[in-house]
Structures are given as structure tokens and as C-alpha cells.
Amino acid sequence: MIVFGKKCKFIFVIILLLVGSHLRGEGLSLSATGNYFVSSDKNYKDYYGSGNVFPSVKLTINLTKGVYLWGGYGYLSAKGETKGLKLKLKSTEHILDFGVGIKLHISTLVSFFIDGGGSLVSYSEDSFGSTKSGSGFGYVGNVGIRVYISKSLFIVLSGGYSGVETTINNVDLKLGGIRAGGGLGVSF
């Protein structure tokens, strides 16, 4: 079982920044988005609803004009209740994604991207008076578009799917699902 905490996230960000400062001549961008998430786990949808909103950040480091490395972090928190007894539930997911992507410049103001890689999700649920936690590793894929509103500021719209599964207390969980979001970014 892989569980990551603040130290792991901090080290990940430092590594990305160090690599990014080395490659800065080729380009670096940072974006923040709001995402709508639909879980691929039926039980999760039954308890927490069919969709939830979560924030995320994404750092991209251009290797060439059309290829980049990327890393992202998202935080999903949801409240729900059981069907019969109406007992309160709360779940949180810390989502750490990373990989390689390709971007195609459609014009000077618009670019299309597709990227994929790994997804590490740390999950915790407070239910029935106890806390269950664990993590899983899987894959993630995204597609999207950037529309530049100035030389360095852009709007990003994206969608994707993550396939992450794990077993916690002998219960199989699907921690991934469909994501769609939009936000703002800046390139350096």
C-alpha cells in the first residue's frame, strides 16, 4: 500500500521546479483549474452523488516545441450519507498525476494538447465511526485546449479519465473516473 503525505508532495514539487528551472529556456507553465469529477465506482456515486467538484494545479515543462513533461495535484473532498440509516460519510482524495504530453499549435492563440501518465491517489473515508485509508496507482489521460488571452496568460479547458483501483479493508475501490474542467494558466 502506497500512502503519500506532505513530504512526498513537497519533494515532488521541488523536483519539478528544479527540472523546470533547468529547462526554463524551453518554457514552463502553471495552471489552476476547477474540475467536475464523475467516479467510476458505483458505491461511491451512491453515497457521495453522481458528481463532485475539485480544484487542481498543473505544471508543464516543455522539452521541445511540441513535447512536454507535466505534473499535477488535485484535492477532492466529498460528504455523503448511507441510504437506509442516513449516517454521515466523508471522503478525501489527494491526487498526484504525472506524465508526458504532446501539444499542437492550431494558431498563435490556440493550442490543442493530449497527455497521459501515472496517477497516484491517496484515499481516506470517515464512516461508521472509523477512518479507512489507503492508496492506489493507475493511469490517467487528458485532452484539452489552451486559448491565449495575452502572451503569457491562457484559459484552459480539458477533459480526461483516470483508472486507479485499490483494495481497502477487503473492499475493492475504483478511485478514478471522468474529469472535465476549466481554469487559468500562465506560461513563463
Write down the pLDDT at residue 162.
97
Expressed as residue numbers, the domain containing 54 is: 6-187
pLDDT tens readout for residues 84-141? 888 899 999 999 999 999 999 999 899 999 999 999 999 999 987 889 999 999 999 9
Write down the pLDDT at residue 9.
64
Residue 87 lies in a domain: yes
Residue 178 lies in a domain: yes
pTM to 2 decimal places:
0.83
Q: Is the Cβ–Cβ distance between 81 and 88 less than 8 Å?
A: yes
Q: What CATH number corresponds to the domain at position 105? A: 2.40.160.20
> What single DSSP character describes residue 48?
H
Residue 80 lies in a domain: yes
Average pLDDT on 149-159 reads 95
> Binning pLDDT at 50, 70 and 90, where does residue 181 land?
very high
d(CA 162, CA 167): 17
- Residue 25, by phi and psi: left (phi above 0), alpha (psi -120 to 50) or beta? alpha
Number of domains in the chain: 1
Residue 1 lies in a domain: no
Q: Is the pLDDT of residue 11 over 60?
A: yes
pLDDT tens readout for residues 15-61? 655 555 444 444 899 999 999 999 999 989 988 988 999 999 999 99
Q: Is the Cβ–Cβ distance between 141 and 113 less than 8 Å?
A: no
Q: Is the pLDDT of residue 10 over 70?
A: no
Q: Is the pLDDT of residue 5 over 70?
A: no
